[in-house]
Amino acid sequence: MTGCPTALEAARRIADGSLTSEALVRACLDRIGEREPLVQAWQHLDMDAALNMARHLDQFGSGPLKGIPIGIKDIIDTADVPTGYGSPLYETFRPPRDAACVALARHAGALILGKTVTTEFAYFQPGKTRNPHNPDRTPGGSSSGSAAAVASGMVPLAFGTQTAGSVIRPASFCGCAGYKPTFGLIDRTGVRPFADSLDTVGVFATTIEDAAFFASIIAGRPNLRIANDVFRPRIGLTRSHAWEAAEPATATALDEAAARLRAAGLEVCEVALPERWRGLLAAQKTIMAFEAARSHAPEMLTVSDRLSVKLRELLKDGALIAPDDYDAAKALVAEARAGFSDVLDGLDVLLTPSAPGEAPEGLGATGDPVFNRIWTALGVPCISVPGLTGPTGMPVGVQVVGRWGDDRRALAASAAIGQSLS
């Protein structure tokens, strides 16, 4: 076989005996051999161990993910390989146990192919990964390696995390599906904290259907899987209060998406966000900096000289935020979350940009999460749907946003939208 099949196809074929895990892993490793020297998506990869585990799973494995290789963002603990958190401080660190999401994936039969590159502590200091569509452009971050590995066909599934825009933005830049669930839907035990009330475990996949399949298993929620019946979502298109940051590529992509959806017979109407929500962007930044300053206090107080300038600046700023300002930011987020159903009145989901535009040129930054921050603060489910391209041929995703806890509908709507875009 050549290349990695979708996760759902692989699961079906492994179950019926027409594909072995060893053959699937060899196909992934062949693809890695072709693409990894340029893309550099992997932080740790043991090919011999992966093949040995594949043979073991072919003989003794079971579960819905039996024999399917997955990538693990290197901010997530793994007991059998190093977990470096994107920092030289932890490059040889071996956690005593797997993170909950990794343990659950193994229990479901998955094969841990390796650790994917993360930015430093999942913030903004880039790692070595390059965009698989153009190595002179960023893949986004902080889940750089996971997005690039999936988009390159090196692995069918990967874990990421999002505190601002670290799943949705790289999925858009790299051209794969990215799903940030409702806050807390996937357990975070064993994931290095950045900002405790924002950090969310998410997934990358080739298709929305694969992302839903993977998350349904890890979250223990079978109803997340996308049914075969036709769903025609009612869609609210919102340009949000950050629209001035939209580049022509994103403006065109959003308009094109709306036109295609209407042509497919779907209801798409314009939605204006409440004026009060203008403060949510600043609120998310306040919450993130305040909480990060506390979660990274051990490093900041003892080895700050070994942190990047970008991270040190954030932690210094966060330490200066008054508790009353933090509490006010949290209160605004709670108020907006309580009123979110009114914004979606009569609609199933919102459609909004995944990122300001195509992946920026250069590797010194990972792009701007301006179109992701408020949804992460609200904790609602978000999916970056691939299928569109910008003026230079780079991928441009559109973001689907659902109600808190209504991930099933958000995923089903995303699949329907993706079919119209493809």
Whether the CB-CB separation of 139 and 116 falls below 8 Å is answered with no
* Cross-strand bridge partners of residue 384: 178, 399
One-letter-per-residue 3-state SS of 85-152: CCCHHHCCCCCCCCCHHHHHHHHCCCEEEEEECCCHHHCCCCCCCCECCECCECCCCCCHHHHHHHHC
* Cross-strand bridge partners of residue 69: 111
Indicate which residues carry an active-site annotation.
73, 142, 166
Q: What is the pLDDT of residue 233?
A: 98
Residue 1 has pLDDT above 50, yes or no: no
Q: Dig out the tokens for 164 from the structure.
A: 């601002």
User: Which residue shows structure tokens 């790299």?
Assistant: 174
Q: What is the pLDDT of residue 162?
A: 99
Whether the CB-CB separation of 305 and 340 falls below 8 Å is answered with no
Amino acid code (one letter) for 170:
P
Whether the CB-CB separation of 168 and 194 falls below 8 Å is answered with no
How far is residue 95 CA from its own chain's centroid?
Answer: 23
At 260-282, the pLDDT tens digits run 999 999 999 999 999 999 999 99
At 350-363, the pLDDT tens digits run 999 999 999 999 99
Extract the runs of DSSP E, i.e. beta strands, from 165-263: 177-180, 200-205, 234-237
User: Which residue shows structure tokens 């892993």?
Assistant: 25
At 382-410, the pLDDT tens digits run 999 999 999 999 999 999 999 999 999 99
Long-range contacts, stretch 11-17, CB < 8 angstroms, 24+ apart: 11/64, 11/65, 11/66, 11/68, 11/213, 14/66, 14/67, 14/68, 15/66
Average pLDDT of the chain? 98
Residue 299 has pLDDT above 50, yes or no: yes
Helix axes 47-60, 21-39, angle to 10 degrees: 160
* Cross-strand bridge partners of residue 237: 270, 351
Is it true that the peptide bond before 295 is cis, omega within 30 degrees of 0? no
Question: Which domains, and CATH codes, for the chain?
Answer: 7-224 (3.90.1300.10)
Its pTM stands at 0.98
Q: What is the pLDDT of residue 422?
A: 85
Mean pLDDT for 328-340 is 98
109: left (phi over 0), alpha (psi -120 to 50) or beta: left
Please list, residue by residue across 388-408, b when 16 or more beta carbons sit within 10 angstroms of its beta carbon and e when fewer do: bbbeeebbbbbbbbbbebbbb
Whether the CB-CB separation of 384 and 417 falls below 8 Å is answered with no
Q: What is the pLDDT of residue 4?
A: 82
**H or E segment at 270?**
strand 267-270
Residue 121 has pLDDT above 80, yes or no: yes
Mean pLDDT for 48-74 is 99
Q: What is the pLDDT of residue 3?
A: 65
